[in-house]
Amino acid sequence: MLKSKTFLKKTRTGGVLKIVREHYLRDDIGCGAPGCAECGGAHGGPALEPQPQDQASSLWPRPHYLLPDTNVLLHQIDVLEDPAIRNVIVLQTVLQEVRNRSAPVYKRIRDVTNNQEKHFYTFTNEHHRETYVEQEQGENANDRNDRAIRVAAKWYNEHLKKMSAENQLQVVFITNDRKNKEKAVEEGIPAFTCEEYIKSLTANPELIDRLACLSEEGNEIESGKIIFSEHLALSKLQQGIKSGVYLQGTFRASRENYLEATVWIHGDTEDNKEIIVQGLKHLNRAVHEDVVAVELLPKSQWVAPSSVVLQDEGQNEDDVEREEEREHMLKTAINEKMLKPTGRVVGIIKRNWRPYCGMLSKSDIKESRRHLFTPADKRIPRIRIETRQASALEGRRIIVAIDGWPRNSRYPNGHFVKNLGDVGEKETETEVLLLEHDVPHQPFSQAVLSFLPKMPWSITENDMKNREDLRHLCVCSVDPPGCTDIDDALHCRELKNGNLEVGVHIADVSHFIRPGNALDQESARRGTTVYLCEKRIDMVPELLSSNLCSLRCDVDRLAFSCIWEMSHNAEILKTRFTKSVINSKASLTYAEAQMRIDSATMNDDITTSLRGLNKLAKILKKGRIEKGALTLSSPEVRFHMDSETHDPIDLQTKELRETNSMVEEFMLLANISVAKKIHEEFSEHALLRKHPAPPPSNYEILVKAAKSKNLEIKTDTAKSLADSLDRAESPAFPYLNTLLRILATRCMMQAVYFCSGMDNDFHHYGLASPIYTHFTSPIRRYADIIVHRLLAVAIGADCTYPELTDKHKLADICKNLNFRHKMAQYAQRASVAFHTQLFFKSKGIVSEEAYILFVRKNAIVVLIPKYGLEGTVFFEEKDKPKPQLIYDDETPSLKVEGMEFHVFDKVKVKIMLDSSNLQHQKIRMALVEPQIPGISVPDEISNVDVNEPEEKRRKLKK
């Protein structure tokens, strides 16, 4: 049956266009209930159960299916995802509304409907002849959709009766809309609110905690006192932003001070790029990362960023007077130059709430169900939740979602989502750091895995099209020990003309991941593989990352090769790119490759190839450094794990060999060669990587620190910085140069991906290269997959697709990749910090030599070379008399009770684990030497291992 609508539309040119919309109605759409003779199994995919037994509801004890409306799906998705809720009918009307209103919830509901164990069935009511409804005159779209849902529910109940006379199976309608519920009951449809229904499931009382509290009136604090001003309507905000009365920006809360935030204004305005918001009422219920509208305050009310550290530790949620006292602390006597544009939040344009990890702060009131939840992220306010399982959740990491923030509530309202496990447990803490850094880490879905090649896999004749056979070459890979995702392999051989041929062969991941499919979309979303201390979160499924794409030895693998003809002086004479097939002759570690190069007896083909590569790499590196490339330093640590418990038993800084540098040189060369080629072919839409030059002010700390040791660091160009770092040597203090390079790293800007058509500045400051990209790690970086696709089109080895040549789409991809790379970096640091805590937990208190990296007003930041560990030594402690501190910003130096500290001074510190705050355990450091009465701690802790021989212990004591 065909329904059609015809209407006329006026075009820009003044013509009239007749538009006919056709809507097909069918009789063969299945109801989803197995054994339904009338439908005859017309439904495909996951179906409902014939006799649902699990939902034992005291309100509706008979077997039933659930049919929720749009708002229940949008707001109660945490409840619907629970294993206890099964046999749910999701209408097409509801699914379309959810898709339009919330992409994340839509994705979650699609995942649930694809899970066969949940028995969720999607019913296409909009195309079923008996359930389709047309919009009536004077009826708005919302009312029409509500009616369509009721019509479908009524049809289901009549339809299910036909299955068998004794069958009492019915559909229960779940809605939080009072009017819709009343109409449903009038029409004879069993209907309940979500809360009523969930509370009736006596066998699953824990589900009540997962209910989102939506009725703001019922959940407001009893006092009813209005704390915050009302948020303006979106239409008013948009008018105000257009007229310039309000400014739109992203709200960034402070980690140090819960009463202060910064709003980063959107757009290109140079003035008022950042606006400070201070005080509870001015913050007006905005949460970190929300998009807000702010009103700029008059200059007389501008403030300076506060130097006070304030943590929200209050238990009494109504104590707003106390907040006002604390706000006065922020307003210190300040120089007018320090005042910054200041504003107040007048409305929320877009909430960017996510589920938050943290811990429950149990209420002091006995039998209370209302408790405060403290998020692990200090930028998020505490959240009030109602739970019956507070005692069971104490000392555990949990996830909570925010539901709303009423005007008369000091904190937002939320609901319990999930219990992650005990605080301090390795699996729990790993899950927390992945969630908090927004690292996608769920197992790959069936839809994604369906695009993997079928096993056993082998190279076919079709795969060999546009591909060179390079299996005869002596190719080998050099990687860290235990590496299974081998992206790159190398070869070097002498040609008949006396020149050298060098090849970099990169895994051909883009052969397996085709544009636009589910596997490609998931890889793009993840953006990068994340390496934690003992876990790897893959960007692509393991079948590709550790097998079919990994360039393991003695197996045929597809590759993308970059091959140069070079002179013995590393001059590039020719460059060519080709898709290829290779067979690696050896998978070596850096140490094994180094051993071969250094060996006097080994002269096989692999070793000869490695020696040739190493010789050329040294020349290439020398040439790069002469151009001004920087050799910076950062203390990287490696944990040695216990083979059974997987706890860290040793902590060392990573040792770098010549072979590390050898591989790096050829990867850099391949990346630069490919960048030139893709920009030549696609000047507007090449995906490139740039590293901006830091502003001069970034270098102040480095220049001052070097000056305090009578050394000069020049920072006008990358070359002058590199040269002055090379000259900054001190025979009496050999580690000084490394410290300077570590400090120089801290002055740098972040390197970012960008689209060539959207930017003019391509320069990579750190590498001193005019153009650069990423090509050499497609197993672990999505940027490289895009670059492979661009290069394949450039050499005619693959066909293009629309998104590849759309610079706006490419710019969006770059934005996501930059975010994912930054988050991966933070997650890796958090993993190192957690494993360091585990190490010192088992090791106990130790004393070690350290060097000062930064001098603060009341502390020194030190680096311990032995462990590559950084920490802060505070000179002011709670409940202790304050020492005399004199801080000099110019030198910089800090005088503590007459003892002066400068950057790079050598000190001795005691390292211990501070577990006083369960949620934020941290490494604490205390000064041992130089000795300052009342400040230094005694060094009675011995570093000697009790299992060491007595003779060795005596030597150490001398």
Angle, helices 807-843 vs 782-794, to 10°: value is 140
CB 282 within 8 A of CB 327: no
Alpha helical stretches, state H, 278-389: 280-283, 320-330
Q: What are phi and psi of 713, to 5 degrees?
A: -115, 125
pLDDT > 50? residue 164:
yes
The answer to whether the peptide bond before residue 892 is cis (omega within 30 degrees of 0) is yes
> What is the distance between the alpha carbons of residues 705 and 715, in angstroms, rounded to a whole number?
14
Residue 607: other Cβ atoms inside 10 A: 19
* Whether residue 645 sits in one domain with residue 696: no
Inside any domain, residue 884: yes
Within a domain: residue 557? yes
491 bridge partner residues: 503
Q: Do 860 and 817 fall into the same domain?
A: no
CB distance 79 to 183 below 8 Å: no
What is the number of alpha carbons within 13 Å of residue 105 lying toward its C-beta?
Answer: 21
Give tens-digit pLDDT for 241-290: 998 899 999 999 988 778 889 999 887 655 558 899 988 899 999 999 99
Q: Cα 371 vs. chain centroid, distance in angstroms?
A: 29
790 burial level (CB within 10 Å; 0-12, 13-18, 19+):
buried
Domain housing 761: 674-830
The pLDDT > 90 percentage for the chain reads: 36
**Do the beta carbons of residue 503 and residue 490 sit within 8 Å?**
yes
Whether the CB-CB separation of 154 and 187 falls below 8 Å is answered with yes
Listed residue (769, 583, 628, 746) closest to 691, CA to CA: 769
Burial label for 146, CB within 10 Å (0-12, 13-18, 19+), is buried
What would the 3-class secondary structure string for 470-490 be?
CCCCCCEEEECCCCCCCCEEE
Tokens representing 218 are: 């019922």
* Distance of alpha carbon 886 from alpha carbon 884, whole angstroms: 7
What burial class does residue 385 get, using C-beta atoms within 10 Å of its C-beta: 0-12 exposed, 13-18 middle, 19+ buried? Answer: buried
Residue 941 has pLDDT above 50, yes or no: no
State yes or no: pLDDT of 217 exceeds 60: no
Arithmetic mean of pLDDT, 928-940: 76
Given a cut of 70, is residue 846 above it in pLDDT? yes
Distance CA 774, CA 691 (A): 13
**Rounded distance between C-alpha atoms, residue 526 and residue 440, angstroms:** 6
Please work out, in degrees rounded to the nearest 5, the angle formed at the alpha carbon of residue 401 by the alpha carbons of 396 and 403: 140
Claim to verify: residue 15 and residue 93 sit in the same structural domain: yes
Are the beta carbons of 252 and 218 closer than 8 angstroms?
no
Strand, coil or helix: 368: coil
pLDDT at 270: 55
% residues pLDDT > 70 (the chain):
87
- pLDDT tens for residues 303-346? 877 655 556 655 455 555 555 555 555 555 455 667 888 999 99
pLDDT of residue 192: 92
> What sign does the dihedral 203-209-214-216 (CA atoms) show?
positive
Q: Is there a domain that residue 668 lies in?
A: no
Which range, 17-31, 254-268, 359-373, 607-621, is most confident?
607-621
Co-location of 581 and 728 in the same domain: no
Give kind and range of the element (H or E) at residue 899.
strand 899-902
> Which amino acid is it at 604?
D
Judge whether residue 445 has pLDDT over 70: yes
Instruction: Tell me the residue type at 435.
Output: L
Considering the chain, what is the average pLDDT of its residues?
83
Least confident of 434-443, 655-664, 769-778, 830-839: 655-664
Amino acid at 689: R
* CATH code, domain carrying 376: 2.40.50.690
Tell me the pairing of strands 536-537 and 586-589: unpaired
| pLDDT given at position 951 | 39
* Best CA proximity match to 483, nearest among 592, 606, 587: 587
Top mean pLDDT of 21-35, 79-93, 510-524 is at 510-524
- Give the Cβ contact number of residue 911 at 10 Å: 22
Question: Does the pLDDT at position 172 exceed 70?
Answer: yes
pLDDT value at position 670?
95
> d(Cα 767, Cα 628) in Å, to the nearest integer?
8
Q: What backbone torsions phi and psi does residue 98 show, to the nearest 5 degrees?
A: -65, -40
Distance (Å, rounded) from C-alpha 867 to C-alpha 837?
A: 12
Q: What is the pLDDT of residue 274?
A: 86
Q: How many CB atoms lie within 10 A of CB 723?
A: 16
Q: What is the pLDDT of residues 497-535, one digit of tens each?
A: 999 999 999 999 999 999 999 999 999 999 999 998 888
Give the Cα separation of 893 and 898 in Å (integer). Answer: 12
Inter-residue contact 789 to 802 (CB < 8 Å): no
**Is residue 599 situated within a structural domain?**
yes
What pLDDT is recorded for position 139?
Answer: 85
Q: What is the 8-class DSSP label of residue 545?
A: I
Q: Specify the range with the lowest mean pLDDT, choosing from 270-279, 744-753, 783-792.
A: 270-279
Q: Which of 131-140, 218-227, 445-454, 942-951 has the lowest mean pLDDT?
A: 942-951
Displacement of CA 801 from its chain's centroid (Å): 28
Please report whether residue 111 resides in a domain. Answer: yes
The verdict on 691 and 810 lying in the same domain is yes
Please give the radius of gyration of the chain, using alpha carbons only, rounded to the nearest integer: 32
Give me the phi and psi of 545, to 5 degrees please.
-65, -40
33-76 pLDDT, tens digit each? 877 777 765 555 567 887 776 667 888 888 889 999 999 998 88
Looking at the structure, tell me whether residues 877 and 769 fall in a common domain: no
CATH (domain of 197): 3.40.50.1010
Residue 434 lies in a domain: no
- Report the distance separating Cα 152 and Cα 852, nearest Å: 71
Which of 361, 390, 423 finishes a domain?
423
Which of 628, 658, 688 is the C-terminal boundary of a domain? 658
Q: Are residues 451 and 418 part of one domain? A: no
- Which tops the pLDDT comparison, 789 or 631? 789
Whether residues 293 and 419 share a domain: the answer is yes
What was the pLDDT predicted at 608? 94
Length of the chain counted residue by residue: 958
Mean pLDDT within 651-657: 60
Residue written as tokens 């001004």? 628
Q: Average pLDDT for residues 929-952, to the nearest whole number?
A: 57
Whether residues 393 and 269 share a domain: the answer is yes
Residue 364, helix vs strand vs coil: coil
Other CB atoms within 10 A of residue 641 CB: 15
Strand partners, 653: 637
Query: Which pTM does this prediction carry?
Result: 0.78
pLDDT at 682 over 90: yes
Judge contact between 105 and 95, C-beta under 8 A. Answer: no
Q: Check residues 954 and 363 and name the one with the higher pLDDT.
A: 363
Tokens of 55: 């939902």
Give residue 888's identity as a one-letter amino acid code. D
Q: Tens of pLDDT along 704-725?
A: 888 877 788 888 888 888 888 8
- Other C-beta atoms closer than 10 Å to the C-beta of 417 total 22
**Which pLDDT value is given to residue 313?**
59
Total domains present in the chain: 5
Q: Quick check: bond before 930 cis, omega within 30?
A: yes
Adjacency order of strands within the sheet including 260-265: 274-278, 260-265, 246-253, 291-296, 343-350
Query: Average pLDDT of 688-700?
Result: 87
CATH number at residue 880: 2.40.50.140
Domain boundary pick from 798, 830, 862: 830
* Helix-then-strand count for the chain, H and E: 25, 38
**Can you tell me the distance from the alpha carbon of 415 to that of 82, in angstroms, rounded to the nearest whole number?**
14
Is residue 436 in some structural domain? no
Judging by beta carbons within 10 Å of its beta carbon (0-12, 13-18, 19+), is residue 415 exposed, middle or buried?
Answer: buried
The answer on 563 and 466 residing in a single domain is: yes
- Is 731's pLDDT higher than 80? no
DSSP string, 166-195: T---EEEEE---HHHHHHHHHTT--EE-HH
891 and 872 share one domain = yes
Say if residue 570 is in the same domain as residue 647: yes
Find the largest Cα–Cα distance for the chain: 100
- Shortest CA distance to 505 belongs to which of 464, 467, 561? 561
Does residue 947 have a pLDDT over 50?
no
Mean pLDDT, rounded, for 458-483: 91
Q: How far is CA 20 from CA 9, 125, 133, 137, in A?
A: 11, 22, 19, 19
Is 604 a domain residue?
yes
Mean pLDDT of 2-26: 72
